[in-house]
Amino acid sequence: EPMGNKIALSAWSFHEALLSGKMQQREVPDAAARLGFAAIELLDILAAPLPAGRWTGVARWGWHALRRGLPFLPHQPRQPRPKQYSATVAEPLRRAADSAGVRVLSWTLDTDLTAEGAALEQQRAYWERGIETARALGCEVLRVTTGGRDGDGRVLRRAQANLQEFVEMAAGLRVAVENHWGLSRDPALLVALLEAVPGAGCCLDFGNWEEAIREEAIRMLAPFTTHVHAKSFRFDADGHEVNFDYGTILGRLSEAGYEGWYVVEYEGDGPPETAIRQTRQLLERVIEDGVKDAR
């Protein structure tokens, strides 16, 4: 498949509407099709209607924003939500995707690979339901997270063993660990995790690293990358994303031999449709230019 056609859309691009309850995830396939996408990424945290509606979404979004800004806050592993990982969740999403003529490329789980004891048993139940859902949706990719405390290398061996177990459970799916938060904020730890588990790759999100380490982190993780979140926040008048040099980033991935999907993940404020189109156009322009700097 030509690289230019390997651009998908993440449901997270509609995060404001989804978190506020104005939109349900089952509406994402139609929205993506209207924007010209043939593949989408769906998220476990958006799988079921939010209890108490809008205000639950606002509170959840505020809490995670606070944790990102204040990483010293205590880490509380998320408890699995069993009802979200059953056929009753996958079925309407699959029907909506089929009706819209789009494929569900990937499903995302917020896993904690550093869990042990009773928490690990809860994680295993969560993994099983997530894997079952991804298979029911016909996914190619299953994106996961490391969990853990930021930069805590002491739990690396535990994370390696848990990831190996997860990969074996998810046989037939491509497991991609996102540089999201927790352990994976340290690119060296994420490299060490992936080196120990050859069956897993990296879901590279170049918006999830601080600018000071972004270039070096992408250089380190590019050889392990099997899935990419093309993050965007804001564009200038010429259609360039103001925070990221897409040409340099995609060039680094191309040098490492990356031939996978780029998933548009708009995370800015306001109506997303224009920015989603701009992100796709920027990706297409950079790819067409041979992943040289499109500036």
Query: What is the pTM assigned to this prediction?
Result: 0.87
**Residues in CB range of 266: below 8 A, 6 or more apart:** 12, 13, 231, 232, 233, 272, 275, 276, 279
Per-residue pLDDT reduced to its tens digit, 72-84: 555 444 444 443 4
pLDDT of 218 higher than 60: yes
Mean pLDDT of 218-225: 98
pLDDT of 137 higher than 70: yes
CA 263 to chain centre: 8
**Residues in CB range of 180: below 8 A, 6 or more apart:** 145, 146, 205, 208
pLDDT of 265 higher than 90: yes
